[in-house]
Amino acid sequence: GQNIDQPTEMTATEGAIVQINCTYQTSGFNGLFWYQQHAGEAPTFLSYNVLDGLEEKGRFSSFLSRSKGYSYLLLKELQMKDSASYLCAVKDSNYQLIWGAGTKLIIKP
Amino acid sequence: NAGVTQTPKFRVLKTGQSMTLLCAQDMNHEYMYWYRQDPGMGLRLIHYSVGEGTTAKGEVPDGYNVSRLNKREFSLRLESAAPSQTSVYFCASIHGSGEANEQFFGPGTRLTVL
């Protein structure tokens, strides 16, 4: 079966750095997405990786290793507004997105 | 541009009642999707459409019917609601199936079935 694993919850301090991991086992691979979802709101796109390596976008970076079935989202200089759930999703061989359950990130002052 | 809109935002149904959730997008996207989101689980695909007049089943299609009314609108119908269908429903759209294309989501419909 297809499976996406990510930690259920993480806590970090304002101003610090946090890394959210995602491991996947899917039928085929056509890219990995990270989305942010604030409580009670819709998911919004953060990043996309299809080749191995690091993609940087401001305070957020995303890394992919296809051979290991592994990705991480790195958030730097954490702000209180970064408190949200972070969803990892993989596009499979049918070009459908398979979603992880999300990681709830709690930022403390 | 309004992006992706959904109606209603909230609804409470009794078991056995029916309702239709409406989704519309103004981005000229070809593909549209209906997901449900439950606590502790990832988004699960109910049905999707790759173009006007087409629909296909996703991971959890039972108990739901969809209709791609035109390029802009995609509806989800519950004919006889059950408590197991209590969930948050999201509509999403995308320009095409290209790998890098991100999905744009509507604000969600929070449905409770008693």
Rounded to whole angstroms, how far apart are CA atoms A3 and B75?
A: 29
Does residue B90 surpass a pLDDT of 70?
yes
Residue B97 has pLDDT above 70, yes or no: no
- pLDDT of B99 > 70? The answer is no
| Residue B16 scores a pLDDT above 90 | yes
Interface of A with B (CB under 8 A): 4, 8, 30-31, 33, 41-45, 48, 50, 87, 89, 91, 95-102
Q: Quick one: tokens of A79?
A: 């702000």
| Encoded tokens for A6 | 């990510």
Secondary structure letter of residue B59 according to DSSP: S
**Nearest CA among A40, A35, A92, A55 for reference residue B104:** A35
% residues pLDDT > 70 (chain B): 96
Show the tokens assigned to A23: 């491991």
Cross-chain Cβ contact A98/B105 below 8 Å:
no
Would the pLDDT of B59 be above 70? yes
Is A33 in contact with B107 (Cβ distance < 8 A)? no
pLDDT in tens, chain A (109 residues): 789 999 999 999 999 999 999 999 998 999 999 999 999 999 999 999 999 999 999 999 999 999 999 999 999 999 999 999 999 999 988 888 999 999 999 999 9
Q: Give Cα separations from B29 to A65, A72, A90, B4, B46 (angstroms).
A: 31, 29, 21, 10, 19
Question: Of the candidates B18, B2, B21, which has an alpha carbon nearest to the alpha carbon of residue B10?
Answer: B21
The answer, yes or no, to whether residue B108 has pLDDT greater than 70, is: yes
User: Residue A75 CA to chain centroid, in angstroms?
Assistant: 10
Asked if residue B33 lies in contact with residue B25, where contact means CB atoms within 8 angstroms, the answer is no
pLDDT-derived band at B47 (thresholds 50, 70, 90) equals very high
Cβ(A105)–Cβ(A82) under 8 Å? yes
Contact A36, A20 (CB under 8 A): no
B43 contacts in chain A (CB < 8 Å) = 43, 87, 89, 97, 99
What confidence score (pLDDT) does residue A46 get? 96
The CA distance from A73 to A18, in Å, is 8
Tell if the CB–CB gap between A31 and B105 is shorter than 8 Å: no
Helix, strand, or coil (residue B114): coil
Q: Say yes or no to pLDDT of B100 above 80.
A: no
Which helix (H) or strand (E) element contains residue B37?
Answer: strand B31-37
What integer pLDDT is reported at residue B98 of this predicted model? 65
Name the residue among A8, A41, A97 with its Cβ closest to that of B103.
A97
The pLDDT of residue A95 is 83
> DSSP class of residue A84?
E
Residues of B with Cβ-Cβ distance to A41 under 8 angstroms: 107-108
The stretch B83-97 carries a mean pLDDT of 92
Res B41: pLDDT? 87
Cα(A59)–Cα(A50) distance, integer angstroms: 20
